[in-house]
Structure 1
Amino acid sequence: MIRLYPTQRVSDGAGVLMRRVIGSTQFQDANPFLLMDEFKNDDRREYEAGFPMHPHKGFEIITYMKKGAFSHRDSSGHEGHLGEGGVQWITAGKGILHEELPEKFDGDLLGFQLWVNLPKDHKLTEPQYSNFAAESIPVVQHEGLQVKVIAGTYEDQEGPVHTHHPIHYLDVMLHGGEFAVEANEVNVIFITGGEVTIEADGEKSIVHEGTILSITDVKTITAHANEGSMVMLRAAALREPVVKYGPFVMNTCEEIEQAIQEYQNGEFAK
């Protein structure tokens, strides 16, 4: 079954304007995918303030930068540069403070941030940080098709990000070619450019840039377009309770209250 949803314009950080793909009022989380934002701006006033120091707990954060550059710093002592085409992967685990600030303002900004839930047994894991330059992201090329593999696999290529709950995260560009995969329990597609035809077990939808598709209860998914692009997320469902309070995602309200106390007591900065 294919369901279509619109994105939602939101402001986050210190006033960065974005489109919310997952986690909006229109399309709530698809566990293990809790939230996804697209930051796409050509006006520096919409993104120059960035994301000053803020907390996270209970999930993993994957930031994929297609245009522009950000710097990263966190309470565990990690620092890094996220350049064009690169990927940043953070396991917030038991709690972390971090900031992401733009490094230049002379061009367009385009990227995505995805929150992936941590299973209950890994909620309190130690925070970790990894940064992958553009050249370390595998690319599968066929006539009329390019697929960048950020996490999981496509054909014989494996992405560098390995979340605790395994996912597939692909950036797909179509120039007359066809893309095909076996479906998982949770399948989310975000059309990032052009017009793309999506088919799933005989059901067909022709969708335009800015459209979200949630696809369930199918075996195969194909996409083709003369000129189009999309981000695809796939995973097994994570059937655990989700309790969210801003940047904290746990399994119970009591755990959320504990996270708030830890943050207020400065324990995330240790």
Structure 2
Amino acid sequence: MNTRPIRQLVPAFEVTEGAGVTVHRSIGTPALKNLDPFLMLDHFGSDNPDEYIAGFPEHPHRGFITFTYMLDGHMEHRDSMGNRGDLKAGGVQWMKAASGVIHSEMPQQTDGLMRGFQLWINLPARDKMSDPAYQEFSSAAIPEVALDAGRVRVLAGEFGGVRGVIEDSATDVLYLDVTLAAAARFSLPLSGTRNAFVYVFEGAARLAEQELKTHNLAVLGAGDTVDIVAGEEGVRLILVAGRPIGEPVVQYGPFVMNTREEIEQAFADYRDDRLVRTRAAMSGH
């Protein structure tokens, strides 16, 4: 066993998105521009409706996937494919923008806690102009694996003999929500051929004998096993891994392509109302 160390520790910092929503961003920052195939990780969370009520009105995407996981709260998704998603606590949504999607994500609550994650996953060049697609699943559909002192929710990929609900064939994404009681240990075989990170959002832990606090993201180094020990108050974290694409990334705002010319074309298409080319059926429940 060769434990994967922390290659880089990235404290998340606050940025404003949408119509004024404050998020903690770790990937997609000056400290960590991207982690192939991952382009951005935002952790949003507030119990003050003034900080989230304006939501994320209509905006375009091209060239990548958005993967949204709601921890608490209720958000409605609408897009140019005709999908209308009702994302509630514990639910998950995967949207392949690919050739072009315009969507909105708007809160369906006026008080209480709203909390979750949005992860941007790159697409290889061969898929960037493919048809959009959409998957959405409620909390009840997500399998859980019981541990001796905790649990693992399997959103994507495979763990403990069960497979997650989201299928992401391009980069073989693994996405686990791990909860551990105080001092509990969690080990997972994870090949060094897949880039991976751990993000703590409750409590603290030690990863490969290094401390990892709330709102800290750890990029994992080479090895074949992830080893995590919860702190004195326990920990809740996400562990995400994916197969790197290894292609040039040219990103400007909501568009992620391989060349500057493709970015310019995306802006021209959006300006001329040509961004949305196809509609796609909704899967999931």
Give the TM bin, normalised by the shorter chain: over 0.9
Verify the 8 A CA contact 2:75 2:105 in the aligned structure 1. yes
**Residue in structure 1 matched with residue 235 of structure 2 by the alignment:** 228
1:118 aligns with 2:123: yes
1:247 corresponds to 2:254: yes
Instruction: Give the 5 Å matches for 1:27-66.
Output: 27-66=32-71
- Provide the TM-score with structure 2 as the length reference: 0.91
SS in 2 for 1:135: helix
Q: Counterparts in 2 of 1:81-92, with a 5 A limit? A: 81-92=86-97
Question: Which residue of structure 2 aligns with residue 189 of structure 1?
Answer: 198
Deviation at 1:238, TM superposition (A): 1.6
Q: Distance in 2 between matches of 1:41 and 1:74?
A: 25
**Mapped partners of 2:66, 2:188: distance in 1:** 24
RMSD: 1.1
Instruction: Structure 2 unaligned segments of length 5 or more: list them.
Output: 278-285
- Residue 161 of structure 1 pairs with residue 170 of structure 2: no
Q: Give the equivalent residue in structure 1 for 2:215.
A: 210
Aligned match of 2:100 in 85, 95, 99? 95
User: Alpha-carbon deviations, 1:19-38, whole Å to 9, x = none?
Assistant: 00211122221010100100
Unaligned runs of 5+ in 1: none
Task: Report the equivalent of 1:263.
Answer: 270
Residues 99, 276 of structure 2: 8 Å contact kept? no
Amino acid aligned to 2:124: P
| Separation in structure 2 between the aligned mates of residue 88 and residue 175 of structure 1, nearest angstrom | 28
Contact 1:62 1:87 in 2 (8 A): yes
Tell me if the contact between 1:13 and 1:50 (Cα under 8 Å) persists in the aligned partners: yes
Q: CA deviation at 1:105?
A: 2.0
Instruction: Tell me the residue number matched to 1:108.
Output: 113
TM-superposed deviation, 1:55: 0.2
What are the superposed Cα offsets for residues 221-268 of structure 1, whole Å, 9 maximum, x if unpaired? 111214111111112222111000101001111111111111111113
Deviations along 1:3-61, one digit per CA (max 9) or x if unpaired, are 21110100000110010021112222101010010001111111100000000000011
TM-score, normalization: structure 1? 0.95
The higher-RCO structure (CA 8 Å, 6+ apart) is 2
Task: Letter of the 2:272 partner, please give it.
Answer: N
Match of residue 171 from structure 1: 177
The number of residue pairs the alignment matches comes to 266
